A and B are shown apart, each in its own frame.
Chain A
Amino acid sequence: MPLLALTDIWKRFGATVALAGARFTLDAGEVHALVGANGAGKSTLARVISGQLQADSGSIALEGRTIRFAGTREAIRAGIAMVTQETSLAPDLSVLENIMLPRFGIPGPLDWRAMRREARRLIERLGAEAGVAIEARVRDLAVGQRQIVEILKALALDSRIIIFDEPTAPLSPHETERLFDIIRNLAALGHGLVFVSHRLEEIFALSDRTTVLREGSVAAEAVPTRELTQGELIRLMVGRELSDIYARSDTARSDTARKDRGTKATTDAPVLRLSHLSAPPRVRDVSLSVHEGEIVGLAGLVGAGRSETLETIFGLRRARGGTIELDGKPFFPASPREAIRAGIGLIPEDRRGQGTVPDFSVRENLLLAHLGAHRGAGLAYRTRDGAIRRLLSLLGLPEQRLLDANLLTFSGGMQQKVILARWLLLSPRLLLLDEPTRGVDIATRSSIYSLLRRIAAEGVACLVVSSDFEEVIGLCDRIVVLSDGTDVTSIPSALVDIEKLGMFAAPRSSAERTHTVLERLSARYGGTAFWIGIERGRVFCFDRVGKDPAADPGFSGGEFPEIGATRIPAALERRDAGFVTEPDSRLATLLVPVRGRSGHDLGMVGLTLAGFADVPDGAALARAVAEDLGAEREREAA
């Protein structure tokens, strides 16, 4: 009998169906990944399990008994806890007090000594890696440690089921490893763990079984993760509707538009050009350009400096070095107002906290940026009446119902459209969008995408930050990948896939171990060492060490030439186990596949040498490289 079984769960939010007959089962002692694209309903399902939301229909059975939670309190009592990104801890209390907080509600004196003993026991159960001092104040802990405190809190409540909702988003790779060890530990102790994520690498590294949600229903139910490949998982997550979502159906038109744009990009001066922009601590060295009518994606992991780059362009953050050019002229905004008057708009990441004015009507929310840009002492709202009417019909928003209402009563997608309209009202030259579809249902997402294409087609330059690689590839013309505050590559989205983006985006600390191996290779044997991925006749270079022009493979980090355009086409084509020597040059190349912990493809490490004379034994070297990579990975985990 499964620990937890959900059958035929339905949940509607107004006209939007968030869950349409979803199913989910969880066994004791397993890590079950709950996967889906943005808006697929995975978080909604997690919240139904944890009692935060009540399903409209369907049944939930805990160890065979049908249950129905009226709130999180009941779910916690039944032994179900959720660990989220935004932790629910009291920052000014100690770790011990936070773990034992539920005890404070029980009448009678507190037995501090027993609580301390209990907390120590729990920490021990989690494994020594927990490394949390129980007397420390939660405020002083790093995000990763706070999550551990939340887990401890859940354990103190005897939770048998713990749900992790995108727990790794704010974590460093090291913290992530530690969290994974803890989760594995919990599974070994017989807990049932639900792991909600859209990061494929993590799902493969951690989970025993995988359930894929797509548009509220189950695309794959409880499949052993081992039996899935990354490609299959992506297909399951995205389905065949990918082209619909990203409005790629009118390919003829958008292709010509893109072609026009492509030629334009080379001839026209860019609307925005950043060169070596730095704004410490997050933005270190970012160069990129956005042309008229172009949608450029800014991809990368959380903390890579993407939002901060937008904020620097928009005058919310001071640049320390480098230059920003707007239409070819140097531009250093001291405030958002200057940026707005120069024709820039920003759609911030946190819609509630940075986007909406809750006490204003929709009309005034729409006119907020107009008010910021307006130079007179009055309001001049009337001057925008016509434009508002046109915009609302363009966005498909009902004018009558909308204008005098409170913005907060509308869905996330509707709110986002209003905020988008706020900037469109000013006819901007450049739109900066930070996670524009977060918390937006899939139907509205699709209409936001087609709207953005339309805006771009009218000549607006768009720079879009998104954590969703699928979205970046589907929406943008070109993608600039940031890693640790530095731009790693700028690549047309048609040439790249999710895996390659993930490898480009790998945080420096995690790419460092591969880099160390490359350095050792290059130092020991001379020549050039590199880390690449090969896909559809194209080589994607994630990293390269060695500057010897004689041993130049014909590409360096961030480049993505076709195999034929490199200097080692034969080796890249054949990918033999040993050294391959080019027929028309003296270059000898060895390629070694890189595999992740759970065996998934992480590209190849290569070594190119100039000359036949002292080519080492290929097979032995390949083994050594593989061992070296493994050792580095162990060191990282330790």
Chain B
Amino acid sequence: MSRTAEDRTAVAARRSLPAQLLHLLATQIELRMVLLIVVVMAGLSRISPYFLTANNLLNVMDQSVIAGMVALGQTLVILIGGIDLSVGSLTGVSAIMLGLAFPKLGVPIAVLICLASGAFLGLINGVIITFGRIAPFVVTLGMMSIGRSMAYVLSGASSIGNIPDSLAALTADSVFGIPLDFLCLIVAYAIAWFFLTFAKGGRTLYAIGSNAEAARIAGLSINLWSIAAYVVAGLMSAVAAVFLTSKILSIDPIGGAGEELDSIAAVVIGGASLFGGRGSIIGTLAGVFIMVFIRNGLNLLNVSPYWQGTAIGSIIIAAVLVERLLSGGRSRA
């Protein structure tokens, strides 16, 4: 009660410098994540001299785009206390939409159709979850199955090739030496950060995840923004589909498989609570990087790729454990 608050301020004033740093670390997810990235990078560069070369870093950037795009949408959904298991399938089906549309309608329109179909399926998720009051796990699990099935149906279970150069340029070009797709990722995260920090909608997402009933009584539009989170998750899956197509120059109905778990892992490593209300978009980006670094590092060390799952899984569990220790009993994830 009031005593604890007084004690806390008193303790904070008395703290030594290292203790203050520790306090800062305990309260700032972003700081923690940046530190973790530095540690991981330092470790990997010691183990493998190749890690910190420009070539490898470009490689790492390249690998983080698709996972990063999907994780961005997943962050919004997890912030409101939901979860989206359908993002991988939505990437698959919207990639197929892209592949079916570009030969007839040209690349720009096809990309729009691709994005619209992702957002539309996300909208269906959001509407059913919000108005049907069904657990997001169940609804998106269903959509995961539907999306993948539609990808096979629409594509006739065969892959689509002959990707136009203009699409390929998205991942091939670079600006000042930085890959264009990576720049897109950074811009997307910057916009998301701005939105979550300074926009009414962003704060509403946090409030919904933290206490939806209180948010409703305070007059926030919780239905609108809950649905919006799922729409953005679907949209970002479609964005990932565009970059995926541009990168591998082929569209396959299995595209995007496994992204749902990767994206949830990145969000959780990034310090978000699966119960909603707590998390940060910067943390998610760091989570994406950490996952890519670990995979990259294991590759460089010639460790069998079968070990990657064990490594990533251990990090997820460790991240949540650390989160719990740092925030005391307050952690709910």
Contact status B217-A316, CB under 8 Å: yes
The distance from the CB of A14 to the nearest CB of chain B, in whole angstroms, is 3
In Å, the complex CA distance between A163 and B189 comes to 56
Residue of B nearest to A380 (CB): B200
Contact status A358-B277, CB under 8 Å: yes
A369 and B218 in contact, given A14-B1, A410-B1 (Cβ under 8 angstroms)? yes
Residue of B nearest to A347 (CB): B217
Contacts of A316 in B (CB 8 A): 216-217
A13 and B201 in contact, given A353-B213, A372-B219 (Cβ under 8 angstroms)? no
- Could you give 30 example pairs across A and B, Cβ below 8 Å? A12-B3, A13-B1, A14-B3, A15-B2, A15-B3, A336-B217, A353-B214, A354-B214, A354-B217, A355-B214, A357-B207, A358-B210, A359-B210, A359-B277, A360-B206, A368-B215, A371-B200, A371-B204, A371-B218, A372-B218, A372-B220, A377-B199, A378-B198, A378-B199, A379-B203, A401-B5, A409-B4, A410-B2, A410-B5, A412-B1
Contact status A374-B2, CB under 8 Å: no
A residues apposed to B, CB below 8 Å: 12-16, 314, 316, 335-337, 339-341, 346, 348, 353-360, 364, 368-369, 371-374, 376-379, 401, 405, 409-412, 414, 422
Contacts of B215 in A (CB 8 A): 357, 368, 372
Contact status B217-A374, CB under 8 Å: no
Residue of B nearest to A413 (CB): B2
Contacts of A368 in B (CB 8 A): 207, 214-215, 218, 220
B295 interface hit (Cβ, 8 Å): no
B28 interface hit (Cβ, 8 Å): no
Contacts of B199 in A (CB 8 A): 377-379
B221 interface hit (Cβ, 8 Å): yes
The distance from the CB of B89 to the nearest CB of chain A, in whole angstroms, is 31
Closest 7 CB pairs of A and B: A372-B219, A14-B3, A14-B2, A359-B210, A337-B219, A340-B219, A359-B277
Contact status A409-B210, CB under 8 Å: no
Contacts of A346 in B (CB 8 A): 217
Contact status B220-A371, CB under 8 Å: yes
The distance from the CB of A515 to the nearest CB of chain B, in whole angstroms, is 38
Residue of B nearest to A374 (CB): B200
Residue of A nearest to B275 (CB): A359
The distance from the CB of B218 to the nearest CB of chain A, in whole angstroms, is 4
Contact status A353-B3, CB under 8 Å: no
Additional A-B contact list (5), CB under 8 Å, known A353-B213, A354-B213: A14-B1, A357-B206, A360-B207, A372-B219, A410-B1
Residue of B nearest to A353 (CB): B213
Task: Determine which residue in B2, B200, B221 has the highest number of CB atoms from chain A within 10 A of its CB, and name it.
Answer: B2
Contacts of B3 in A (CB 8 A): 12-15
Contacts of A16 in B (CB 8 A): 1-2
In Å, the complex CA distance between A317 and B214 comes to 15
In Å, the complex CA distance between A506 and B6 comes to 45
In Å, the complex CA distance between A10 and B213 comes to 37
The distance from the CB of B56 to the nearest CB of chain A, in whole angstroms, is 38
In Å, the complex CA distance between A348 and B1 comes to 20
B278 interface hit (Cβ, 8 Å): yes
The distance from the CB of B274 to the nearest CB of chain A, in whole angstroms, is 13
Contact status A359-B214, CB under 8 Å: no
The distance from the CB of A19 to the nearest CB of chain B, in whole angstroms, is 15
How would you classify the secondary structure of chain A's contact residues: helix, strand, loop or mixed? mixed
Contact status B5-A405, CB under 8 Å: yes
B256 interface hit (Cβ, 8 Å): no
In Å, the complex CA distance between A379 and B220 comes to 12
Which single member of A348, A354, A356, A359 contacts B278 (CB below 8 Å)?
A359
B147 interface hit (Cβ, 8 Å): no
Contacts of B219 in A (CB 8 A): 335-337, 339-341, 369, 371-373
A377 and B200 in contact, given A358-B277, A359-B277 (Cβ under 8 angstroms)? yes
B209 interface hit (Cβ, 8 Å): yes
Contact status B217-A360, CB under 8 Å: no
B166 interface hit (Cβ, 8 Å): no
Contacts of B155-213 to chain A: CB distance below 8 A: 198-201, 203-204, 206-207, 209-211, 213
Residue of A nearest to B202 (CB): A379
In Å, the complex CA distance between A358 and B212 comes to 11
Contact status B218-A336, CB under 8 Å: yes
Residue of B nearest to A311 (CB): B217
In Å, the complex CA distance between A346 and B213 comes to 12
Contact status B211-A357, CB under 8 Å: yes
Contacts of B55 in A (CB 8 A): none
The distance from the CB of B203 to the nearest CB of chain A, in whole angstroms, is 6
In Å, the complex CA distance between A15 and B216 comes to 33
Contacts of A364 in B (CB 8 A): 203
B23 interface hit (Cβ, 8 Å): no
B8 interface hit (Cβ, 8 Å): yes
B9 interface hit (Cβ, 8 Å): yes
The distance from the CB of A171 to the nearest CB of chain B, in whole angstroms, is 25
Contacts of A369 in B (CB 8 A): 218-219
Contact status A401-B214, CB under 8 Å: no
Task: Determine which residue in B209, B216, B220 has the highest number of CB atoms from chain A within 10 A of its CB, and name it.
Answer: B220
Contacts of A13 in B (CB 8 A): 1-3
The distance from the CB of B28 to the nearest CB of chain A, in whole angstroms, is 13
Contact status A411-B206, CB under 8 Å: no
In Å, the complex CA distance between A224 and B200 comes to 60
Contacts of B8 in A (CB 8 A): 405, 409
Which single member of B203, B216, B278 contacts A371 (CB below 8 Å)?
B203
Contact status A379-B5, CB under 8 Å: no
Contact status B211-A378, CB under 8 Å: no
| Cβ contacts B252-270/A at 8 Å (1 or 0 each) | 0000000000000000000
A409 and B277 in contact, given A356-B214, A368-B214 (Cβ under 8 angstroms)? no
Contacts of A379 in B (CB 8 A): 198-200, 203
The distance from the CB of B187 to the nearest CB of chain A, in whole angstroms, is 19
Which single member of A12, A335, A377, A401 contacts B201 (CB below 8 Å)?
A377
Contacts of B211 in A (CB 8 A): 353-354, 356-358
The distance from the CB of B215 to the nearest CB of chain A, in whole angstroms, is 7
Which single member of B9, B200, B216, B278 contacts A401 (CB below 8 Å)?
B9
Contact status A411-B218, CB under 8 Å: no
Contacts of A357 in B (CB 8 A): 206-207, 210-211, 214-215, 277
Contacts of B4 in A (CB 8 A): 14, 409
Contacts of A401 in B (CB 8 A): 5-6, 9
Contacts of B266-305 to chain A: CB distance below 8 A: 277-278
The distance from the CB of B172 to the nearest CB of chain A, in whole angstroms, is 36
The distance from the CB of B164 to the nearest CB of chain A, in whole angstroms, is 36
In Å, the complex CA distance between A374 and B206 comes to 17
In Å, the complex CA distance between A410 and B8 comes to 11
